């Protein structure tokens, strides 16, 4: 996965050209999407069951890659098909920073659990 949202692109550029960027409010959270997001559009987040965005932490960046440092588990999922994720911060009105596709979409029946294993969600900038 990795594409910066329009907000992420703007804030990274501000950082690179020595302006004052707005940093993401921690912790970052993973959202599961049933319709594709883009840099400017959030896509469609699943809803129902006990679904809630889950915290994500990252390992140290190595070889231009950051990966999730722990399993990310969603429990009591609604019936849905998920093919994408968004990464939001925890601001009062959460800001979407990143988005990307899963390696393969996953279909859930109500009550299923879904785990993204540690090291499986990768962020790279190219």
pLDDT tens, position by position, 70-115: 999 999 999 999 999 999 999 999 999 999 999 999 999 999 999 9
In-domain check, residue 31: no
User: Is 29 a domain residue?
Assistant: no
Q: Answer yes or no: is 47 within a domain.
A: yes
What Cα–Cα distance (Å) separates residue 56 from each residue in 15, 17, 93? Answer: 23, 28, 18
Q: Is 76 left (phi over 0), alpha (psi -120 to 50) or beta?
A: left
Residue 27 lies in a domain: no
> Is residue 26 included in any domain, yes or no?
no
82 within a domain of the structure (yes/no): yes
In a domain, 99, yes or no: yes
This model's pTM is above 0.85: yes
Residue with tokens 């440092």: 69
33 closest CA partner among 105, 118, 91: 105
Q: pLDDT tens, 36-57?
A: 999 999 999 999 999 999 999 9
How many domains does the chain fold into?
A: 1
In terms of residue numbers, what domain contains 117? 3-19+36-124
């Amino acid at each position: 996965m990795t594409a910066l949202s329009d907000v992420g692109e703007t804030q990274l550029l501000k950082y690179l050209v020595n302006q004052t960027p707005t940093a993401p409010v921690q912790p970052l959270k993973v959202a599961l999407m049933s319709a594709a997001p883009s840099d400017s559009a959030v896509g469609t987040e699943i809803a129902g069951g006990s679904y809630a965005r889950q915290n994500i932490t990252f390992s140290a960046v190595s070889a231009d890659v950051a990966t999730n440092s722990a399993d990310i588990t969603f429990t009591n999922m609604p019936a849905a098909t998920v093919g994408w994720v968004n990464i939001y911060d925890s601001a009062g009105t959460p800001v979407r920073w990143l988005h990307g596709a899963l390696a393969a979409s996953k279909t859930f029946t109500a009550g299923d659990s879904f785990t993204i294993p540690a090291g499986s969600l990768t962020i790279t900038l190219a």
